[in-house]
């Protein structure tokens, strides 16, 4: 049974449940060649799927005898593999890998299931056993793939090799720190391969994918960074160890720091300009209001009137990203949206004894909005967190250019945007910061902290923005106020022109 048959016959929700995203054979082949270079006798694949790694290793016609031990939790997928079951050099356990023993192996090759650990049924039994084995507490490990890696690293024989697929954003997570520390301090990590343009290479993937190559040889060597842009490039690689773009010393990859910006800055040739500081020096980006039931909380004028809800119990709110189309959002734009009867209000209960409000809440409860994940944990369920309007808004999801908006209205916003809240250093530099964020230089630098979702879709968490770089106070203050105002008034009508002007202004302060 081929991969395409299995995919055709299996629903995407089923595959998601098990984290069944398959490694393309070109990528699997590179990984297989790397892990088998030192003639391993015992090989482990913790997450078998349709067995691409076994297939690739078999095709290498290795001189030595080898045996692959593998785990696959899903008996359904295994039922598609009757031809493999008869082979003598493979043992397939239809079991949870995380519950398996800690035998060690000469080579480990894995594309782990990538899903939230919270969803995992046996996590309360599994974690303590793994913690005992590795002698460390596993706190905050929200993704199952990272637990696979922790366990696998424990199972690697001396001189053994490991090739592991991980989402690139893993290097930015808090829980990833411990693993990064182990990888660096024990000199395990030899190479990181980043698969850019991932839809071409990994049609299945929803995030940017990278491959870790590790060897348990205690040799301090440079860590090689390889950036692969398309399948043609992979086809031409004969020896992956010799194919890399940047050698990095271990101190260049501190485990406490996010690795994505460090690595991306190498790949994109994008350097942090001289004097730049963290955006967090000027304030904080925070996520918008998470309602847990936007359908209930987002309201338009007509509906408010129908429900007879008074103005005291609603507030102006950007409830959807597409409601703002320009770089500048003014009261005139807001009035237009009200006229167009767009959902530009949000329920903001101030008078709980007001009959109209009571009726609407009751209606919400009849529709079970109060039993949703977020609402049921809120007391009372209809009372939203308080937020001030933010003078700069930043789109959470972006395709191509990053959506940056200078908000001059008193509207608050839902989670479609992150809002910037300036501190005392930032409050007089809001327009300058906005211009920087809108400029090409600003956009390229901010993008270094993005999380790619594939298909050119980038996501930012507030922390990604707070940690990104921007000009320092002297540089921002060197921007002429009048020019700033001119750009803002032009941005209201002609964004392209405003970007060109912003570029010039930012280039000027960088040269100074």
Ligand X SMILES: C[S@@+](CC[C@H](N)C(=O)[O-])C[C@H]1O[C@@H](n2cnc3c(N)ncnc32)[C@H](O)[C@@H]1O
Other CB atoms within 10 Å distance of the CB of residue 241: 15
Q: Which stretch binds ligand X (CB under 6 A): 45-53, 210-218, 352-360, 454-462?
A: 45-53
168 binds ligand X (CB under 6 A): no
170 binds ligand X (CB under 6 A): no
Q: Give the nearer residue to ligand X in terms of CB position, either 73 or 446.
A: 73
Q: Give the nearer residue to ligand X in terms of CB position, either 20 or 143.
A: 20
E strands, 326-460, are 328-329, 345-347, 392-395, 397-399, 404-407, 412-413, 417-422, 451-452, 457-459
| Least Å from the CB of residue 274 to ligand X | 43
Q: Nearest 5°: CA angle at 147, between 397 and 165? A: 60
| Least Å from the CB of residue 144 to ligand X | 7
One of 37, 55, 96, 222 touching ligand X (CB under 6 A): 96
The site map against ligand X for 3-22 (x = CB under 6 A) is: ---------------xxxxx
Is residue 389 left, alpha or beta, with left meaning phi > 0 and alpha meaning psi from -120 to 50?
beta
471 binds ligand X (CB under 6 A): no
One of 36, 44, 49, 398 touching ligand X (CB under 6 A): 49
d(CA 188, CA 276): 33
29 binds ligand X (CB under 6 A): no
d(CA 488, CA 392): 13
E strands, 348-441, are 392-395, 397-399, 404-407, 412-413, 417-422
> Measured between alpha carbons, how far is residue 83 from residues 2, 80, 90 in Å?
11, 9, 12
| Least Å from the CB of residue 48 to ligand X | 6
Pairing mode of beta strands 223-228, 246-248: antiparallel
Q: Give the nearer residue to ligand X in terms of CB position, either 109 or 506.
A: 109
One of 30, 32, 40, 48 touching ligand X (CB under 6 A): 48
One of 113, 364, 389, 395 touching ligand X (CB under 6 A): 113
74 binds ligand X (CB under 6 A): yes
71 binds ligand X (CB under 6 A): yes
E strands, 236-313, are 246-248, 277-278, 283-287, 298-299
Query: Which residue, among 6, 168, 8, has the nearest Cα to 76 in the 3D structure?
Result: 6
167 binds ligand X (CB under 6 A): no
299 binds ligand X (CB under 6 A): no
| Least Å from the CB of residue 231 to ligand X | 16
Helix orientation angle between 495-511 and 440-447, rounded to the nearest 10 degrees? 80
| Least Å from the CB of residue 23 to ligand X | 3
Report the SS3 class of residue 320.
Answer: coil
| Least Å from the CB of residue 305 to ligand X | 51
One of 97, 141, 382, 434 touching ligand X (CB under 6 A): 97
Binding region for ligand X (CB under 6 A): 18-23, 47-50, 52-53, 71-74, 77, 96-98, 111, 113
């Amino acid at each position: 049974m081929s991969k395409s048959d299995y995919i055709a016959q299996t629903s995407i929700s089923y595959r998601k449940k098990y984290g069944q995203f398959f490694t393309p054979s070109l990528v699997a082949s590179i990984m297989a060649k790397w892990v088998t270079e030192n003639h391993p006798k015992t090989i482990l694949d913790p997450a078998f799927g349709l067995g691409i790694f076994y297939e690739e290793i078999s095709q290498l016609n290795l001189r030595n005898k080898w045996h692959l031990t593998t785990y696959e939790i899903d008996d359904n997928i295994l039922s598609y593999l009757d031809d493999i079951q008869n082979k003598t050099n493979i043992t397939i356990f239809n079991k949870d890998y995380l519950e398996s023993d800690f035998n060690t192996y000469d080579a480990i090759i894995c594309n782990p299931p990538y899903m939230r650990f919270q969803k995992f049924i046996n996590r309360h039994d599994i974690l303590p056993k793994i913690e005992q084995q590795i002698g460390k507490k596993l706190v905050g490990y929200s993704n199952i793939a990272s637990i696979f890696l922790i366990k696998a690293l424990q199972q690697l024989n001396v001189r053994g090799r490991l090739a592991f697929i991980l989402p690139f954003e893993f290097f930015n997570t808090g829980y990833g720190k411990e693993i990064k520390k182990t990888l660096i301090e024990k000199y395990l990590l030899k190479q990181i391969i980043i698969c850019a343009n991932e839809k071409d290479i990994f049609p299945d993937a929803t995030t940017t994918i990278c491959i870790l190559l590790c060897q348990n040889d205690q040799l301090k060597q440079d860590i090689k960074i390889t950036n692969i842009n398309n399948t043609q490039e992979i086809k031409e690689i004969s020896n992956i160890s010799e194919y890399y773009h940047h050698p990095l010393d271990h101190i260049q990859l501190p485990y406490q720091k996010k690795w994505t910006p460090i690595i991306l800055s190498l790949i994109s040739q994008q350097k942090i300009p001289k004097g730049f500081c963290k955006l967090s020096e000027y304030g904080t980006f925070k996520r918008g209001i998470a309602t847990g039931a936007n359908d209930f909380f987002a309201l338009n004028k007509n509906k408010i009137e129908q429900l007879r809800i008074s103005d005291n119990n609603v507030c102006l709110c950007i409830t959807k990203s597409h409601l703002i189309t320009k770089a500048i959002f003014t009261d005139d734009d807001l009035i237009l949206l009200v006229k167009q009867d767009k959902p530009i209000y949000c329920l903001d209960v101030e008078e709980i004894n007001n009959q109209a409000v009571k009726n609407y809440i009751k209606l919400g409860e009849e529709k079970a909005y109060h039993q949703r994940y977020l609402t049921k944990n809120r007391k009372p369920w209809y009372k939203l967190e308080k937020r001030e309007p933010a003078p700069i808004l930043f789109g959470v999801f972006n395709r191509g250019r990053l959506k940056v908006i200078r908000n001059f209205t008193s509207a608050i916003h839902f989670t479609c945007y992150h809002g910037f809240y300036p501190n005392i250093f930032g409050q007089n530099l809001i327009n300058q910061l906005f211009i920087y964020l809108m400029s090409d230089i600003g956009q390229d630098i901010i993008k270094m902290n993005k999380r790619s979702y594939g298909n050119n879709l980038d996501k930012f968490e507030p922390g990604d923005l707070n940690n990104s770089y921007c000009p320092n106070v002297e540089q921002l203050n060197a921007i002429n106020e009048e020019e700033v105002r001119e750009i803002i008034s032009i941005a209201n009508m002609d964004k392209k022109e405003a970007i060109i002007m912003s570029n010039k202004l930012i280039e000027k302060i960088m040269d100074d």
